[in-house]
Chain A
Amino acid sequence: MGGTVDLTVEFTGGLEMLFSDQRKHKISIPAEESKGQPATVAFLIQWLCDNLMKDPRKEMFVLDDSVRPGILVLINDADWELEGEDKYEVQAGDNIVFVSTLHGG
């Protein structure tokens, strides 16, 4: 269809450094992947890497085709595992948060 989906993405736990030092971004992504499938979180992650991330250190965000270990993905305040992980199809208005775990104490 060629439409777009409006989402809010947030980066915390230090990940915001990779995204122009800005925590909250309002974005519009294609509603469909190249193969015509509805856009999933996996597609969103790739889209963020290609379009929103200005920092060249891609390995700090993605590793082996998914978010790197130590990053939690939250879909509307729930761990993404509760929502189908990267196969979750994004909906307009979704709030998707990427949290890097902290270790300091």
Chain B
Amino acid sequence: MAFTSITDQITLLRSQIAATESQLSKLRAQLSAAESRVETARHLEQAYQGGFPAEWIGETLSALTSEDLHGFPGYAAATPGGAGSPDDIARSIRHETGRAEKEFVAAPEPVRSRWPLSGEEYRRYGRQMIMKEVGLHGQLRLKQAKVLVVGCGGLGCPAAAYLAGAGVGTIGLMDGDTVEASNLHRQIAHSTSRVGLSKVESAYEYLRELNPLPNYERHPFHLSPSTALEVFSAYDMVLDCTDHPTSRYLISDTCVLAGKTLVSASALKTEGQLIVLNNPPKAPGDPTGGPCYRCVFPKPPPADSVLSCGEGGILGPVVGVMGVLQALEAIKLLTSPSNPSINGNGLDPFDQQASPRTSMLLFSAYSSPQFRTIRMRARHASCAACSSVATITPQQLTDGSLDYAAFCGLTTPINLLSPQTRITAAEFARLPRDGSNVLIDVRDETQYAMCALRGSINVPWPGSGQKWVEAAVQKGALPVDGAGRELFVVCRYGNDSQLAVKAIQDAVDGGPSGTSVNVRDIRGGFRAWREEVDGEWPEY
């Protein structure tokens, strides 16, 4: 029994010590807070006596109440029951300095009504706000602006990052793709850990981390004609960061119909292009509006002349430069006092300038000079989208009667050859390696140097059958008499290899009669080789 009561006593003593220590630390915190307040009050008093204007005291106090006091040492501990709210502390400082409330010209008010931006916003955007090109008014315009970024890839990632960093109030992100490892060398908002995630979600995570203040609207799907007008109408400006003519025409047409300025960029290999279209975004038929994409390119390029980044290659900083320039042009337009595409906030009257001359910026990383600006035409008098004789209407767009894919032509995988002249990668792998067959690799020298099958002969496809056959004969890849060994042709995806086989067949048909040649292409090229035969073959 006695033993139990002693242990109880020990427990009790311990808890009393803990409670006393806790009270002691609270008292210390209160003391420190009080000392700080007296110190602040003393400084203010000195400043006031020293000619510190009364208005400044009001502002200083307001700043203290809203910001600094939240980080005041011991502030949280010293305010049981809310008795130490910023206003209370301010009041006590007034009391301690002996100043009655009415002596302060500007009574402390909540920050929101005192300043148009929050303290966090002044800190975050101060470095751009102190420039006359932006200023407070420009920052407020950015905050009011709603910008849609169509495509969250090599252009969209840097563009959205700089728009978010600059404090654009609403940023829409649209893309239907998911992140792949081959994106990461240029699509800076994505990351290794987010491979497989929707690009919109991935970009959203990156941007929210960069700046949590903007409102991010997520559109995790590809743009379609039926919904484009509805989506665009919620924004002030659109950035075309997509990668295909189909979407470029659709975005431009929608911008014209919705009255939005379009900042359009593109990049491939070592070059990029940038143009601000529909600026100013006047109604169709108004010749003072800026030209649209159709004014510049009335007809789409032939489908087979269009190279994607996956086919042609792209240097990361090249597309990055173009995306950053898109953000720059957007910020310039959004902060401009004369920009009619943004509803004014009443701070500045619109100043009616002459329409800006449209220009296009060409960037070529390996040329000198790297940048060149060219003067562009005005709106085209017979443009299908923006002229007085325009044929593209909102109804047409929405009801799907405009077939953009058909307009631009479709590139489907080619299928030129009969099954007898084709072989699967798996079948080819089982053939004897006894010199009875020849493998011709038609990829370019750069790709051939990355990875190639031993014993293969590299004869790059130059785009023309006749030239290729000449080169193949020159390199000894084709038997002059046409007889004997079996020939196989391989490429990256299995398109050029078919063209090459066709070229050999045509050459034989046009040659002396009686000759024949046994030539087949490997279906699906090295992509199939990787899938069917060699899992370690580099995927690029």
Taken residue by residue from 16 to 38, chain A's Cβ proximity to chain B (1 for < 8 Å, 0 otherwise) reads as 00000001000000000000000
A78 to chain B: closest residue by CB: B375
Is A101's CB under 8 angstroms from B273's CB?
Answer: yes
**Which of the 9-residue segments A1-9, A39-47, A52-60, A86-94 touches chain B?**
A52-60
The interface of chain B, by Cβ under 8 A from chain A, is: 151, 153-156, 240-245, 248, 265-269, 271-273, 296-302, 305-309, 312, 314, 319, 322, 360, 362, 364, 367, 372-377, 462-464, 466-467
Q: How long is the Cα–Cα vector from A6 to B211 in the complex, in angstroms?
A: 55
Is A56's CB under 8 angstroms from B464's CB?
Answer: yes
> Which residues of B have CB within 8 Å of A82?
375, 377
> Which residues of B have CB within 8 Å of A55?
462-464
Q: How long is the Cα–Cα vector from A64 to B53 in the complex, in angstroms?
A: 78
> Which residues of A have CB within 8 Å of B362?
12, 99
> Which residues of B have CB within 8 Å of A78?
374-375
Q: How long is the Cα–Cα vector from A63 to B303 in the complex, in angstroms?
A: 14
Q: How long is the Cα–Cα vector from A95 to B265 in the complex, in angstroms?
A: 24
Known: A79-B377, A103-B308, A104-B266. A12 touches B271 (CB 8 A): yes
Is B301's CB under 8 angstroms from A68's CB?
Answer: yes
Is A70's CB under 8 angstroms from B377's CB?
Answer: no
The secondary-structure label for the interface of chain B is mixed
Is B364's CB under 8 angstroms from A12's CB?
Answer: yes
Q: How long is the Cα–Cα vector from A71 to B360 in the complex, in angstroms?
A: 14
Is B242's CB under 8 angstroms from A105's CB?
Answer: yes
Known: A102-B271, A105-B153. A69 touches B297 (CB 8 A): yes
Band of interface residues on A: 20 to 34
Tell which of B243, B364, B367, B374 touches A103, judged by Cβ atoms closer than 8 Å: B243
> Which residues of A have CB within 8 Å of B377?
79, 81-82
Q: How long is the Cα–Cα vector from A2 to B85 in the complex, in angstroms?
A: 93
Q: How long is the Cα–Cα vector from A100 to B269 in the complex, in angstroms?
A: 13
Could you jot down 5 A-B contacts, CB within 8 Å?
A: A14-B271, A14-B307, A69-B299, A104-B308, A104-B314
Q: How long is the Cα–Cα vector from A12 to B302 in the complex, in angstroms?
A: 17
Measured CB to CB, the closest approach of chain A to B307, in angstroms, equals 7
Tell which of A70, A74, A104 touches B302, judged by Cβ atoms closer than 8 Å: A70
A69 to chain B: closest residue by CB: B299
Tell which of A63, A72, A79, A104 touches B267, judged by Cβ atoms closer than 8 Å: A104
Is A101's CB under 8 angstroms from B376's CB?
Answer: no
Known: A77-B374, A105-B155, A105-B243. A72 touches B302 (CB 8 A): no
Is A69's CB under 8 angstroms from B314's CB?
Answer: no
Known: A56-B464, A104-B307. A74 touches B153 (CB 8 A): no
Q: How long is the Cα–Cα vector from A78 to B376 in the complex, in angstroms?
A: 6
